[in-house]
Amino acid sequence: MSKSISIIGLGAMGTALAKTLIDAGDTATVWNRTSARADALVARGARRAATVAEAIAASDVLILCLTDYAAVETTLADVGTAIAGKTVVNLTNGRPHEVRAIAARLAGYGARYLDGGIMATPPMIGTPHAFVLYSGDRAAFGDAGEQLAAFGQSHYLGEDPVLAAVSDLALLSAMYGLFGGYLHATALAGSVGFTAKQFLPLVEPWLAAMMTALPDYAERIDSGDHSRDVMSNLSMQSVAITNIVAASRSLGIDPAFMEPIERLAKKRLAAGFGSDEASGQVRADDALQCAASKQQADGPRSKRRGPSACC
């Protein structure tokens, strides 16, 4: 059955979301600050809203996909109680305090709020490779779930709206670390004559093989025990890390990506953990967590240490 849905924000991602909904047979109403970006979608069957208020009035489910929360705040600045009873699905990348602020404001107007993190690029939307994280109003997720399923796999993480945003940032951290490492590796290999394409048959299987270490790392992180059955101790690894930084400099390659990794390893070595695995290097810092919680908690805290443990 055709359902009505409004999409606010028609950048690369908002356009992909809107196309997918139209192709799935939904009645899509679209709004974008720069109206011309809606033209192709209107030609495909979407209805153009002249204002944000019109987009809100058109549907019970509203999807927001904008650059950042400043844009979300600007776009929803004047909505007021016109948004009462609507389900707002905000798929904009943001920080925990931003999520809490908009969720509280919209709840104050009587809207149901779901925050989301899209784990896909625009061409992946609507394919089995895409997945989207959601958290917030459980009943709203239940009601809109069928429409949202058009984007890819949906993962509902719980009632706290910040769960999706923080998990999104966590997954993006893993991606940026991987891509940064790949770019540095490719520059190093390039310095001795390999093109990026020639280097692929070495780097791809290497990264795939290293992924298999993650379950063991996860067990060590959860138990806090980084010293059992050590195979690749940090002292040994820090020699390689320092060699990477020094060799990069001597080859004229900016070591900026690897320098913080070297710093972290040295810090952990200095703290006496050289014979541990490297899995203990990045941990929630008690002092930082304490400061954050004093300045108004910015998201869910570690289950192992609540605010009272440090403050």
Considering only residues 43-62, where is the footprint of ligand FVH by CB under 6 A? none
Instruction: Give the pairing of strands 61-64 and 47-48.
Output: unpaired
Range 21-57 burial, b when 16+ CB lie within 10 A, else e: bbebebbbbbbbeeeebbeebeeeebbebeebeebbe
92 binds ligand FVH (CB under 6 A): yes
Instruction: CB nearer to ligand FVH: give 157 or 265.
Output: 157
Residue selected from 18, 41, 118, 188 as contacting ligand FVH according to rule CB under 6 A? 118
Instruction: CB nearer to ligand FVH: give 9 or 255.
Output: 9
155 binds ligand FVH (CB under 6 A): no
96 binds ligand FVH (CB under 6 A): no
Which has the closest alpha carbon to 131: 164, 166, 176?
A: 164
Instruction: CB nearer to ligand FVH: give 178 or 202.
Output: 178
Count of residues touching ligand FVH (by CB under 6 A)? 21
75 binds ligand FVH (CB under 6 A): yes
Residue selected from 3, 4, 24, 33 as contacting ligand FVH according to rule CB under 6 A? 33
Q: How many CB atoms lie within 10 A of CB 64?
A: 25
Instruction: CB nearer to ligand FVH: give 32 or 289.
Output: 32
Helix (H) or strand (E) segment spanning residue 260: helix 259-270
Question: Contact region for ligand FVH (CB under 6 A) — 55-63, 66-74, 150-158, 210-218?
Answer: 66-74
* Helix%, strand%, coil% for the chain, nearest 5: 55, 10, 30
Instruction: CB nearer to ligand FVH: give 103 or 261.
Output: 103
C-alpha–C-alpha distance, residues 253 and 191, integer Å: 8
CA distances from 17 to 28, 124, 295 (A): 10, 10, 36
122 binds ligand FVH (CB under 6 A): yes
Per-residue x/- mask for ligand FVH, residues 3 to 22, rule CB under 6 A? ------xxxxxx--------
CA distances from 252 to 172, 194, 200, 241, 243 (A): 29, 16, 22, 17, 14
Which has the closest alpha carbon to 136: 178, 166, 172, 109?
A: 166
Helix (H) or strand (E) segment spanning residue 128: none
Q: Is 123 helix (H, G, I), strand (E, B) or coil?
A: helix
295 binds ligand FVH (CB under 6 A): no
Instruction: CB nearer to ligand FVH: give 29 or 92.
Output: 92
The pair of three-digit structure tokens given for residue 170, joined into one six-digit string? 């966590």
Question: Contact region for ligand FVH (CB under 6 A) — 65-73, 81-89, 108-116, 189-197?
Answer: 65-73
Residue selected from 59, 90, 93, 147 as contacting ligand FVH according to rule CB under 6 A? 93
Residue selected from 24, 53, 57, 71 as contacting ligand FVH according to rule CB under 6 A? 71
Task: State the residues that interact with ligand FVH by CB under 6 A.
Answer: 9-14, 32-34, 37, 65-67, 71, 74-75, 92-93, 118, 121-122
